Structure 1
Amino acid sequence: MPLEKENGGQGIRTVQRALDILACFDEKQPQLNLTQISEKIGLAKSTTTRLLATLEQNGYVEKDLSTLKYKLGKQIYYLGHIAGKSIELKTIAKPIMEKLRDETKETINLHTLEGIYRVCIEQALGLNTISHSIKIGVKHPLWAGAGGKALLAFQNEEFIQMVLETAVNPRPQLMDELEEIKTVYFCSSIDEEEIGSSAVSAPIFDINGVVKASLSISGPTSRFSQENITNYQKIVKDAAFLISSKMGYVHQEKVL
C-alpha cells in the first residue's frame, strides 16, 4: 500500500475516533472519566488520552482537575450555535407540511411568535374544494385558536399574563388547557377564533428547547369530527417533533 494512502487511512481513523469520543457525552452522562470514555469507544487508555489531549487543546472538551472528568467544551457550544442559526425553519418545514397536507387534505399552517401575537409564515393549502386559509403575515391572537395556544403554553408566566390582559372574553378553562398542552404537546380549537373553522396544533422546539413556532392542521368545523381530531392530534404532534429534531432539538420524555 502506498504511504500516502496508508497515512490517509490513519488520518480518517483518528478523526473517527475523535468523533466517537465527542459522541460519548449526552444529557444522562455529561461528564465522563478516562476509563469510561476508553471503554465506550473500545480503545486503550493511552490512545484515548492522546485524543482527549488534542480535543482539549482545541476547546472541544474540558477537563475538571478536581474530579479528573471530561465534559464537552465551549467550542462545541459555539459550533452548535452557528449551526442552529443557519437552519431555516421554513425550508425544513415546507416538505413536511406538504406531506401532512397530502395525508389530511386539510390546510397546514406554520405560525411563529411575533410580540404578543402569532403570524403565519408558511402555508400548504388544503386539497378539498372548500378549504380554510389565512393570510401570510397577518397577526392573530395567542389566546384563541390552536396555533396560538400551542405557542402560548410554553412561554413564561409573566408573558402569558401579559397576553391574557389583551384577551377578549377568554375561555374560563384556558389556563387549565395551557397546562395540559405542556404535557401532551398538542391542542385543538373548535369555532374558537372564527366560527365555522377548527384546527389542531402542536409546538415546534428550536435547538435550545424554546417554542417560537407551531404547526397546525385547519379546516371547516364540519370535517373536524372527534375521530378526525384524535387522528390529527397524533400526526401533527409527530410532524412538529420531526421539524423540531431537524432544528437540532432532542426531545426528552417526561417521567410522570
Structure 2
Amino acid sequence: MEKALQVLECFTTQQPELGITEISKMLGMHKSSVHNIVSTFVEKGYMEQDQVTRKYHLGLSLLRLADIVRAGLSLRQVALPIMHKAKEIYNETVHLAIEQDGLVVYLESVQPTDRSVARLAVGKRAQMHCTGVGKAILAYLPDERVKAIIEKHGLNRYTDHTITSETELMRELKRTRQRGFAIDNMEHELGIRCYAVPIRDEHGNVQASISVSGPAERLPVADAEIKAEPLIMMGMDISRKLGWQGY
C-alpha cells in the first residue's frame, strides 16, 4: 500500500504525465514493481495511459474520490455546529455518517464529557441494516438499490435484535419513512440504542444522516417519537443549509 501511494504522489501539476522508467528513478523502485502498481491503477481507473506518449496520468476515478472528500468537508462544516446543539439537548453522543459503497462511514462524532457514552471512531465503516444512521439513509434509497446493498453485504447478525430478514428490513424502512426517523434498537451493539434522521443534499437525495446514541435506558423506544422531534428538526436544518428547499 505504501509503495502504491508513493507512485501516486509522483504526479504533480508540474509533472502530470510520467513513464514507468521516470517513476522508477524517482522512487528508486524496480521497474517491474512500478509496472505492476501502475497496471492495477489503470485497471481500476485511477490512472490512464496516453496512447501517443505511452506515459501515464491520473484517472477520472480519483475525481470521484475527490468529490466525496469535498462533499464530506462541506457536510461537516454545516453539520458540526448543529451536532453540538444536539449534544447539549440530549447529553448523548452525536454521529454524522454518509453512505459509501453500501456501507455507512462515520464522518464526525461529538460526545458529552460527563456521561458514559457510545462513540464510534471517525472513519469507521459499518453495515447499514443494523445501524440507525444506516437505516435513516436506506429508507430513502430506491428499493432496487437497497436490495443490491443487501446482496453485496448481506444482513449479518450482530445481536439478537439485528434484523436479518429482507422482508422485515423493508417493513422497518417503511416505518422509518412514516415516522421520519430510524431507530437502532440494540441491533448493532447490546445496550446501545440510537435515533437517526436523514440529511438531504441540494437535489433532495439522502446520502447522509445524523444520530444520537447512548445507553438504551436513556433513549427509550416507548416515547421515541417525542424524544426524536428535536433531532428531526436538526436534520431538516442541515438539509436546508446544504441547499434543499423541500421542507
Give the distance between the partners of 1:119 and 1:207, measured in 2 at CA: 20
Aligned to 1:167: 155
Aligned partner of 1:192 in structure 2 is 187
Deviation at 1:103, TM superposition (A): 1.0
Q: How many Å separate the matches in 1 of 2:216 and 2:145? A: 30
Name the structure 2 match of 1:221.
216
Change in CA separation of 1:231 and 1:127 when aligned onto 2, cut-off 3 Å: farther
2:173 to 171, 178, 185: 178
Amino acid of the structure 2 residue aligned with 1:120: Y
Shift of the 218–175 alpha-carbon distance from structure 1 to 2, 3 Å rule, reads: same
d(CA) in 2 for partners of 1:198 and 1:114? 23
**Which shifted more, 101-110 or 123-132?**
123-132
1:182 positional shift: 2.4
Give the structure-2-normalised TM-score.
0.64
Counterpart check, 1:122 vs 2:117: no
Match in the other structure for 2:235: 240
CA contact (8 A) 2:97 2:104 kept: yes
1:179 Cα deviation (Å)? 1.5
Matched, 1:250 2:236: no
Would you identify which runs of 4 or more consecutive aligned residues in structure 1 move more than 3 Å? 84-87
Q: 1:85 to 1:218 in 2, by over 3 A?
A: closer
Letter in 2 for 1:114: Q
The separation in 1 between residues aligned to 2:216 and 2:126, in whole angstroms, is 19
Contact 1:187 / 1:233 at 8 angstroms: preserved in 2? no
**DSSP 3-state at the match of 2:198:** strand
TM-score, structure 1 as length reference: 0.62
Identity value in percent: 25
Distance of 1:99 and 1:192 partners within structure 2: 26
Aligned length: 169
The one-letter code matched in structure 2 to 1:247 is L
Equivalent residue number for residue 30 of structure 2:
none
Quote the offset at 1:226 in angstroms. 3.6
Alignment-mate amino acid for residue 161 of structure 1: K
Whole-angstrom CA distance in 1 between matches of 2:72 and 2:174: 32
RMSD: 2.1
